[in-house]
Structure 1
């Protein structure tokens, strides 16, 4: 689900919370050592996301927020903020050549550079959390 989250819209917030869960509490964030990624530079993306990113001349970047049942990948275009909502059961991550991570949800994807240890550490944390908390059967959804 690709949505514009620039404005405080209760319907969109409700859909996001249903898909990936409510944000972690401050205590949980502290215990996890943080839930946000460092700044990630986008090298490639799906057509729909690319069409949003080419509207401005800034360097394409994004960040990822962990949630209890999924992740939110946020990026900016012009003065708008967009979010790709990915539940863990739809999340697929590939590590490619030259330190590139690919994050997929159905027909949307974003490829980001993993050129620092902090980025690699965050992806390891995200994949470990997914492995521990992703649903194991259809009843868990």
Structure 2
């Protein structure tokens, strides 16, 4: 689900928390050695996200926040911040050629460069956490 997360709105916050869980506590973040990604450079996206990104001439970047039941990919367009909310059971990650990762949810996708060790280390952490916390049956949801 693609949402405008620029403003504090209780309905949007509830939607996000219901989908991917509440944010980790400070203690949990410390134990995990951080939950946020470094700045990721976007190379390609689906048409809905591309239509938002072409509205300005800034460099297309995003970051990823891990949550207990999913991730939030945030990016900016004009003066607005958008979030692609992806629960772990709908998240597909592919490592492609030319040092890039592709993150999918249904018909949404974002391709990002993985040209540094920090980015590769973050995706390894993300994949390991996803493997440990993805529900294995419908009753676990």
Q: Which TM-score bucket, shorter chain as reference?
A: over 0.9
Indicate the residue corresponding to 1:3 in structure 2: 3
What TM-score results when the alignment is normalised by the length of structure 1? 1.00
Report the alpha carbon displacement of residue 134 of structure 1 after superposing the two structures with TM.
0.6
Q: Secondary structure at the match of 1:41?
A: strand
Indicate the residue corresponding to 1:86 in structure 2: 86
4+ residue runs of structure 1 moved beyond 2 angstroms?
none
Indicate the residue corresponding to 1:47 in structure 2: 47
Indicate the residue corresponding to 2:14 in structure 1: 14
Q: Which runs of 5+ in 2 are unaligned?
A: none
Indicate the residue corresponding to 1:60 in structure 2: 60
Indicate the residue corresponding to 2:74 in structure 1: 74
Indicate the residue corresponding to 2:109 in structure 1: 109
Q: State how far apart, in whole Å, the 2-side matches of 1:123 and 1:21 are.
A: 20
Report the alpha carbon displacement of residue 139 of structure 1 after superposing the two structures with TM.
0.3
Q: State how far apart, in whole Å, the 1-side matches of 2:56 and 2:102 are.
A: 23
Post-superposition Cα deviations, 1:2-38, rounded to whole Å, max 9, x if no partner, equal: 0000000000000000000000000000000000000
Report the alpha carbon displacement of residue 100 of structure 1 after superposing the two structures with TM.
0.6
Q: State how far apart, in whole Å, the 2-side matches of 1:62 and 1:105 are.
A: 16
Q: State how far apart, in whole Å, the 1-side matches of 2:5 and 2:71 are.
A: 15
Indicate the residue corresponding to 1:29 in structure 2: 29
Q: Which runs of 5+ in 1 are unaligned?
A: none
Indicate the residue corresponding to 1:136 in structure 2: 136
- Structural RMSD (CA): 0.3
Q: State how far apart, in whole Å, the 2-side matches of 1:45 and 1:31 are.
A: 33
